[in-house]
Chain A
């Protein structure tokens, strides 16, 4: 009998590990989504560079988080030396499963946990690249990516999902802070880092006129931006669905399905709301705002996709869709130039997502959500501001005016995304 029980536990372990890996792979694919979205919303002359940044930041995130980030956030040792599991891996896992019980906490491969966590780090970092697009130096961005993914993000992660006290002062979990898949921990954190960068970097040349007028700088490729949005929408099922952390019993499977359903509903609500508000405010259906609306719906539901009804999830997403349009217009009034709307989508709506959790989940409290949001924002914004400032002093963070005019594709990467009139003669 015990053999059969153990075999069932082993199967459950396998299913939950497999589920974690597949969900993580979906989140990894969000890197492609961010790349396409950002490449679509910048001008053609800055395409190669934004793609370079996106693939580079993903690699830096994976490496920095492996070296030290995961250890800061969850323990596990520098270079992940603690996660391999000893000779008694199977026996230890079976003992843990027996203790947790079939319906209890998930027991799964530690390596799959790292894989699932690391793709979230990359997501947070991806948010930064869009906001500082078209004018930041590639190497300054790479430098920031190291600090962000090795230290700034893992620190706030350790106070939230890691369960540690904030500098030994207070514990966010005890205060009733809940962020299911990271509206605050991932999205608002990325936006806070981006905001610090945008403030120190300044607007793209020509974006704001001398009399305060806002001049649009149009994205070069809206099919690419739309594809990017759909890829992110798909990846989000892994982002939120995987954050249930367990699939292998009936209650958990139901929870995962509910999270998928609500995540999708919120995105749809975000699209419809952004379309309506854009039509009312601008008179036409601005596709870029509608795409931002989809992402806003997704960010809004991320803090609590497990407890709302489908209708409530749609409403939470729609509020996100309205907020994102208003926020993008407001940031332009403040002359904070964010080419892709990342600060609005992930920051403003991320905060809304956190505040919406107590509406449907009694375990969270408004004060807990507010204190958690403030803690994440103050830490990430402050630490990022210092990091960007140091980079600015040491190497400069902005390309020259001429390089900006010519496009950073040529000045940073030495190649255009769409070369024309080239010749092979030396």
Chain B
């Protein structure tokens, strides 16, 4: 099993969710996060004084899937979140040791 973690632009959430539903992903977790990559921050003005927004708001998706779905899932995320502009985010794929459904105590792929 794999855990896919994706950082995306917040306004792309609906597109990514739709793309993931189409390939049959059963669940995902979304968190509001802040950070920066090569995009760095940007500057804003308040009452004429400039300030730098170092950390930009992004969404983090956590998705647990079977190994064979990894390519499809990452493609779906790219399809949904890509704008071609700087700051589109990143996808990380981790090995996932165990999954347990709390209600039934099922484990492994059955719990996904």
Contacts and interface: CB of A to CB of B under 8 A. Distances in A.
B95 interface: no
A288 B47 CA distance: 7
A289 B47 contact: yes
Contacts of A392: none
Nearest to A207: B49
Interface string A320-337: 000001001100100000
A341 B51 CA distance: 19
A308 B91 CA distance: 65
Nearest to B48: A329
Interface in B28-61: 45-51
Contacts of B46: 216, 218, 286, 288
Contacts of A328: 47-48
The CB with the most chain B CB atoms within 10 A, among A216, A286, A288, is that of: A216
A286 B45 contact: yes
Interface residues of B, number: 7
Given A214-B50, A216-B50, 6 more contacts: A214-B49, A216-B49, A282-B45, A282-B48, A286-B47, A341-B47
Interface in A300-359: 325, 328-329, 332, 341
Nearest to B46: A216
Contacts of A286: 45-48
8 contacts: A214-B50, A216-B45, A216-B49, A218-B46, A283-B45, A286-B46, A289-B47, A332-B47
Contacts of A325: 48
A426 interface: no
A215 B50 CA distance: 7
A276 to B, nearest CB: 15
Most buried by A among B45, B48, B50, B51: B48
Q: Main SS of chain B's interface residues?
A: strand
Contacts of A283: 45
A413 interface: no
Contact of B51 (A215, A289, A329): A215
A284 B42 CA distance: 14
A281 interface: yes
Contacts of B47: 216, 286, 288-289, 328-329, 332, 341
Nearest to A339: B47
A231 B49 CA distance: 27
Q: Top 8 nearest A-B pairs by Cβ distance?
A: A216-B46, A216-B49, A214-B49, A329-B48, A282-B45, A216-B51, A218-B46, A288-B47
Contacts of B48: 214, 281-282, 286, 289, 325, 328-329, 332
Nearest to A214: B49
A115 B48 CA distance: 40
A282 B48 CA distance: 6
Contacts of B50: 214, 216
Nearest to A278: B48
A286 B50 CA distance: 12
B28 to A, nearest CB: 29
A129 B25 CA distance: 57
Contacts of A214: 48-50
Q: Which of B45, B46, B47, B51: most chain A CB closer than 10 A?
A: B47
B74 to A, nearest CB: 37
Nearest to A208: B49
Interface string A198-214: 00000000000000001
A214 B51 CA distance: 9
B35 to A, nearest CB: 21
A218 B44 CA distance: 12
A353 to B, nearest CB: 22
A293 to B, nearest CB: 12
A284 B51 contact: no
Contacts of B49: 214-216, 332
Contacts of B45: 216, 282-284, 286
A55 to B, nearest CB: 26
Nearest to A325: B48
Contacts of A284: 45
A283 to B, nearest CB: 7
A329 B51 CA distance: 15
A283 B49 CA distance: 12
Nearest to A216: B46
A33 B50 CA distance: 28
A281 B48 CA distance: 8
A328 B46 CA distance: 11
